[in-house]
A and B are shown apart, each in its own frame.
Chain A
Amino acid sequence: MSDTVADDSLAPHEPRPARTRRRKAVPALIALVMVGAVVGLVWNLASGSLFFYNADEAVERRDELGDERFTLQGLPIGCSIVEGFQDDLPIVAFSIMHGGVSADIVHFGDPAELFEPDVPVVLDGAWVQSDPDVDGFDGLADDGWYFASDRMRVKHDNDYINDDGYEDRLAESAEQAVVAEACA
């Protein structure tokens, strides 16, 4: 490469045509995304307190909720769990408890991998005014309502210390006395 060529390559380029619109659009887009993130943060914090209803709240607000879809949380009671099929669809019926109040659940579909007694579940669905029609299921609530669920998440705790099996966890549970009485 000659010196001349080197000089040419380093010579100042002709000024590019003005790209005013693009120059304005990029900061505006970034600002929009940032404002959206902050609004999202505020909205999330404001609505975070209503992510799910605990079983006692959902039972109390049953009339108000009607057949509206909502998210429900509670502790599955071991002695109530019955698995089966309805029109070839796997179902699991069980009762959950929170704050000393129980609710009967029929979950349509496979249960979550970690679904087991006394590990809280978070369910999406709606109230149905009827007794659950599941063979062998004897709901603890037995109040003429059940919660028809089609999405289940497991709300495991933060305990990573082993050797605390179901019996130990149940013994530590705040619902212990009510559960023992209900399952007796």
Chain B
Amino acid sequence: MAKKTALIQGNEACAHAAIYAGCTFFAGYPITPSSEIAEVLSKELPKIGGKFIQMEDEIAAMAAIIGASLCGHKVMDASSGPGMSLKQELIGYACIAEIPCVIVNVMRGGPSTGMPTGPSQSDVMQARWGTHGDHATIAVAPASCQEIFSETVRAFNLAETYRMPVQILMDEIVAHMREKIVFPEPGELEILNRQLPAVSPADYKPFDTSFGDVPPLAAMGSNYRYHVTGLNKAPDGFPTTTAELVDAEERRQLRKVEANASAIEKNEEYLVDDAEIIILAFGITSRSARFAVDNLRKEGVRAGLFRPITLWPFPEKRVAGLAGQVKAIIVPEMNLGQLIHEVERVVKGSCKLAGLGRVDGEPITPYQIIDKVKEVL
């Protein structure tokens, strides 16, 4: 039998993928341009016995998904701009208490209310550093409806594997455009679940590092009773100010992502092998960049595209390697210069670097990129 196909929006693909990944609990608060995710899940989750709740604000939505995740559910929340600003408090809670959850940010212009219906890519650094304190970050940035599906599934897998919040960064265009997607069959995409304790309840500690950097997580309400706090905690989950315990825990929480960066990172490379200039772009802008690369190649310019699908952790080794073999890297992004700072940090002056920003609510066009490439070369 032919696989099921449909012409659907990115937001719809994201919602259906969540269910495919095993999501059984969604909490949200209405906000443009993310609302379709909540709308689809309010319809689909009850069909599989899952729960949808619209909370009183974006902070509450984060709180509710963290609570549900502690009770063993796979959970998701979706928001945008001002909503993401509010969520930072509890994204930090999910980081320190190590609670798996997926948060979709359909980026819009800002700061503040900004441009609710216009596309943007200006939350790159918020995704990395939005909540206070040192913490690891995983964020993915899909660029098509099909990829939104597969990356949403991967976001759940990463959240469950590393016991932490994972953000999906989309922009208004990929979220709202409609493309044909082929729905994967059950079992076609890998589904990963959090590691449950193998020890007896009496021996269980929620942050027991004897099982590695990602301790098993029991569901509250099962036979494992434990304590969770947003304070710095000892392996038993209770607050501590003991210097060496605090230090060890803080470092472990960064290490669980840093040490696994190569497993988490995912990039797409297009015509980079012989490239003299590379356009480094993600999300919707990467599609303009690909169009630009094809046109430039026709004109004899050896252009290539490097597209980080995982934005955080940033693929620093690969980008540093590419910088050594090209004349220049161009970073078009729908903000006034965010990801370019990360590229600059990694490239360390080994090639020319130029940014191209746009914040007027319109996408960066292929022709803008082509002009920029010609200007730089």
Q: Do these two chains really belong together in a complex? A: no
